[in-house]
Structure 1
Amino acid sequence: MRIRHLIPAFWLGTLGMSAAVFGLPNSAFAATENESAAKKTTDAETYEKLQIFADIMAIIKDEYVEDVEDQALIDGALNGALSKLDPHSHYVAPVAFVEQQEATKREYGGLGIEVSSEGGLVKVNHAIEDGPAYEAGIKTGDFITAVDGEKVRNKPLDEAVKGMRGLAGDPVTVTVLSPGSLPRDVVVVRQVVRGRAVRHRVEKGVGYIYLETFNNSELTSDIERALKSLEAELGGTLPGLIIDMRGNRGGLLDQSVSVAGLFLDGGEVLSARGRDASDNQRYHAEPGELYPDMPIVVLVSPGSASAAEIVAGALQDRGRAVVIGRRSFGKGSVQSVIPLPNDGGALRLTTQRYYTPSGKSIQGRGIMPDMLVAAREDSGEIRKRFREDSLPNSLLNSDDTDYEENYGDILYPPETWPEDEDYQLRKAIDVIKTSNYQRLLDAQKTPLER
């Protein structure tokens, strides 16, 4: 995408005179002068408003009931102005910018474990293979009872694990309780480890992959490894695949393109269009898809956004998958992060909109499932979900046709459905195993490829 540079006001007059020299009529010259004068008037008004801002800042510094930091006021003013554009444009202060860069990489200094709270203790749900905890002998199912001698029993989970994080290379001693064994102290040297964004398992004879986020530069490779593992577990073949992106808030654009490309034989995945045609970009899958005849169901929810919607929309538009669940969030805009060299922070600015291969904008509309399935019974669901178009100053979609869910079409679990069973997942498995899959595929309104 090209970067626009602001031209100082005095250049406008020079450009106008140059045009006159090359033979434009007097009326054109007069019009150029009028435009230049109008521009100067607008600039003068803007400078007056900025002076008012400076005056208000000075009054606040002198008269407000408490001391106020200049930076806090300036940051608030910048974000107040940017929030008038859309909900996703904002100023990122230097410290927050560094933290966001680290979070985007999904890397941290820690032990390489995923944990939850159980029975007042910290339970290890997963120890990342080759991570520091795994190498030190900590396994899935172990419990952590203390960190550097400080007991964690009955502490909030965030507080209990706080001591596990720290600088890479520094050791930490955790007390580990394995089932059937006595507690033992284990010294683990913290490392920068990559979080796990992919979980996979076999569900009733069908491959299942859960994608937590797209903020992982190795996501596509992780999915390929998961597919190989599922294939081996199912005897060398994959009769069907469920890609669960419920609650996935998105992440890296390149990963959404390459993940969708795993199941497409070339062709467009999405386009991103800006204010000018020169800002438009198209993203294509690489030729050669995996498992071309395998049925695929994609699960989405109102919490599925951005990169997750790109993947769901591409596979749906291209006739490669059936989408099940509830209408997705509708985050169909692209933000460019522009570092501010004189500040150390950055400007996160909306510069483009996303479009699915059929040319439909995701913005404010999201992806509509081929089969509407609720997670739980009607009495427990909020029908009017919080989505992108609920946000203040959200970008409008030029397609104003009705895109609300038809509540009469939504399948709800029976009253007797067990609370611990995933109704949406069960329907996805049923679709793959029956003729409903092809029926739903044939009913898609805009498949671009069969």
Structure 2
Amino acid sequence: MTLRHRFILAAVLSLVFCFWAPGPNPAAKDAVSAAAIKTENAEMLDRLKLFADVLAVVRNEYVEDVDDADLIDAALNGALNSLDPHSSYVPPVKFEEQKEAARGEYGGLGIEVIQENNLVKINYALEDAPAYKAGIRTGDYITAVEGERTFGKTLDEAIEGMKGLAGDPVTVTVLTPDNITKDVVVIRQVVRRRAVRHRVEKGQGYVFLETFNNERLTDDLELALKDIKRQLGVSNIPGLIIDLRGNRGGLLTESVSVSGLFLDGGEVLSARGRTSEDTERYHAEDGQFDKDMRIVVLIDSGSASAAEIVAGALQDRGRAVVVGRRSFGKGSVQSVMPLAINNGALRLTTQKYYTPSGKSIQGRGIMPDVLVALSPDTGTIRKQFREASFSNALSNADMSAFEEDHDTIDYPPEDWPRTEDYQLQKALDIIRSSRHTDILSKFEK
């Protein structure tokens, strides 16, 4: 074994043993058990040596130069991804970015962008943020950052130049909807991301929760509900639509506290691990916001994880009517474990989510009380990509009768305007009719 080879082996062993270390085992006092553990440890060492052998051959013989750190990161992720789609190794830089995103603050311009026809379009410009103050508005396009064109780049590549330290200026070239091009100098600031978008919709409250990956979500939702009351000029909101379509989830704590706003105590969900000792139950606090307020929750195949927890809790507890399409079915809990060796983290699946009635969300998702499509029926059933579509998705023993019944889906008519939200319209119809009460009557509160 060469010196370089030994160095690689030592690095791999030190890295892997940060993940793997046998815990205390009372049975180890027994000689037979001790021998079995010794054999198991020896087999583990042999496999780690095999990994080091392969790594050494690749770095020495591969047709192009390779980076050791990248190879090891990829190997770790390959091992973890073989368990399920959501377990992974998070490198230090990425881990820091994720923590920053959860805090909801960053040094930037205060804009939300999307990619449209290879152009960077401003989907929303936050008021009181630096870009808005500099004259940039929703609907504008950013065609260059510091003179470098954004056309043809990925969205991440295009916005990389906008990031920077608070207080530093950045020049962006903006194309307005009326084809006026201008250079705008924006001073970066610490900007707080929007957690909730809200409005009054035909006399009812409407809140859109884009993500649960924001530690201020519940606080911002409470402020939004109070503002809806102010706009309506009432002491109690008659009805509320909670739009979770496309919401990919986020923080478990926020899903529990958001659900708790609309429940008077009681269970929100349980998270169950490998053994019964690993089971945790999460409850809402006593007291709720406008207990007589009617609620409809909108979901679709893109609603996942924390969004499914909220929909499932409010549905099971008889607090809301769920409308839309069956949700994604991401019903597993990932524990984020910081690693002292390099300030990265291990994201590992440790539990599965269950709704208050004891149903696992994993693979199944949440089935709406009223199935409503967003676009007209084409006559063919287009298979939606959901959690169960992953080849290595965790299984669910209870998948019986959990496919959407195509004949019961309410489709918009063929001439329905594309600019009109059919699912939202149906939610409004339900919340204003006796149908809302009739649907909830089958649930025990």
| TM-score, with length taken from structure 1 | 0.85
> What does residue 430 of structure 1 align with?
429
Q: Are residue 150 (structure 1) and residue 147 (structure 2) matched?
A: yes
Superposition deviation, residue 378 in structure 1: 2.6
> What does residue 54 of structure 1 align with?
52
What SS class does the counterpart of residue 365 from structure 1 fall into?
Answer: coil
Q: Against the structure 1 CA distance between its residues 164 and 344, is the aligned structure 2 distance closer, same or farther, given a 3 Å change threshold? A: closer
What SS class does the counterpart of residue 250 from structure 1 fall into?
Answer: coil
> What does residue 36 of structure 1 align with?
34
Contact 2:104 / 2:216 at 8 angstroms: preserved in 1? no
**What residue identity is the alignment partner of 2:68?**
D
Contact 1:247 / 1:304 at 8 angstroms: preserved in 2? yes
Q: 1-side partners of 2:152 and 2:82: how far apart?
A: 41
**What residue identity is the alignment partner of 2:382?**
R
What SS class does the counterpart of residue 349 from structure 1 fall into?
Answer: strand
Q: Are residue 389 (structure 1) and residue 398 (structure 2) matched?
A: no
> What does residue 296 of structure 1 align with?
295
Q: Are residue 212 (structure 1) and residue 210 (structure 2) matched?
A: yes
Q: 2-side partners of 1:8 and 1:278: how far apart?
A: 16
CA distances 1:204-224 after superposition (whole Å, capped 9, x unpaired): 222111110011111112111
CA distances 1:367-417 after superposition (whole Å, capped 9, x unpaired): 110011111123287532211111122111232433111122111111121
Q: 1-side partners of 2:63 and 2:175: how far apart?
A: 53
> What does residue 107 of structure 1 align with?
105
- The within-5 A match list for 1:283-432 is 283-379=282-378, 383-432=382-431
Q: Against the structure 1 CA distance between its residues 338 and 382, is the aligned structure 2 distance closer, same or farther, given a 3 Å change threshold? A: farther
RMSD (Å) for aligned C-alpha atoms: 3.1
> What does residue 165 of structure 2 align with?
167
Superposition deviation, residue 251 in structure 1: 0.7
Q: Against the structure 1 CA distance between its residues 380 and 68, is the aligned structure 2 distance closer, same or farther, given a 3 Å change threshold? A: farther
Q: Against the structure 1 CA distance between its residues 359 and 126, is the aligned structure 2 distance closer, same or farther, given a 3 Å change threshold? A: same
Q: 2-side partners of 1:6 and 1:192: how far apart?
A: 41
- The within-5 A match list for 1:65-214 is 65-115=63-113, 125-134=123-132, 136=133, 138=135, 140=137, 143=140, 150=147, 158=155, 161-174=159-172, 187-214=185-212
Contact 2:376 / 2:413 at 8 angstroms: preserved in 1? yes
Q: Against the structure 1 CA distance between its residues 139 and 90, is the aligned structure 2 distance closer, same or farther, given a 3 Å change threshold? A: closer
Q: 2-side partners of 1:139 and 1:60: how far apart?
A: 50
Q: Against the structure 1 CA distance between its residues 399 and 65, is the aligned structure 2 distance closer, same or farther, given a 3 Å change threshold? A: same
CA distances 1:179-211 after superposition (whole Å, capped 9, x unpaired): 99x987654321121211311122222211111
CA distances 1:265-314 after superposition (whole Å, capped 9, x unpaired): 11111111112333222111111111111110000001000110111011
Contact 1:90 / 1:348 at 8 angstroms: preserved in 2? yes
Q: Against the structure 1 CA distance between its residues 12 and 265, is the aligned structure 2 distance closer, same or farther, given a 3 Å change threshold? A: closer
Q: Against the structure 1 CA distance between its residues 146 and 248, is the aligned structure 2 distance closer, same or farther, given a 3 Å change threshold? A: closer
Q: Against the structure 1 CA distance between its residues 342 and 160, is the aligned structure 2 distance closer, same or farther, given a 3 Å change threshold? A: closer
Superposition deviation, residue 261 in structure 1: 1.0
The share of aligned pairs that are identical, in percent, is: 61
Contact 2:147 / 2:172 at 8 angstroms: preserved in 1? no
Q: 2-side partners of 1:426 and 1:340: how far apart?
A: 48
What SS class does the counterpart of residue 353 from structure 1 fall into?
Answer: strand
Q: 2-side partners of 1:116 and 1:396: how far apart?
A: 34
CA distances 1:219-245 after superposition (whole Å, capped 9, x unpaired): 112111211222222232422111100
Superposition deviation, residue 155 in structure 1: 7.0
> What does residue 239 of structure 1 align with?
238
What SS class does the counterpart of residue 256 from structure 1 fall into?
Answer: helix
Aligned length in residues: 425
Superposition deviation, residue 253 in structure 1: 1.2
What SS class does the counterpart of residue 379 from structure 1 fall into?
Answer: coil
What SS class does the counterpart of residue 209 from structure 1 fall into?
Answer: strand
User: Structure 2: 5+ residue runs without aligned partners?
Assistant: 1-18
Contact 2:101 / 2:214 at 8 angstroms: preserved in 1? no
Q: 1-side partners of 2:48 and 2:365: how far apart?
A: 39
| TM-score, with length taken from structure 2 | 0.86
**What residue identity is the alignment partner of 2:355?**
T
**What residue identity is the alignment partner of 2:66?**
V
Superposition deviation, residue 112 in structure 1: 1.1
The answer to which of 382-391 and 294-303 deviates more is 382-391
Superposition deviation, residue 146 in structure 1: 7.1
**What residue identity is the alignment partner of 1:63?**
E
CA distances 1:37-82 after superposition (whole Å, capped 9, x unpaired): 2332232222222222222222222222222222222122222221
Contact 2:249 / 2:303 at 8 angstroms: preserved in 1? yes
**What residue identity is the alignment partner of 2:407?**
G
Larger radius of gyration: 1
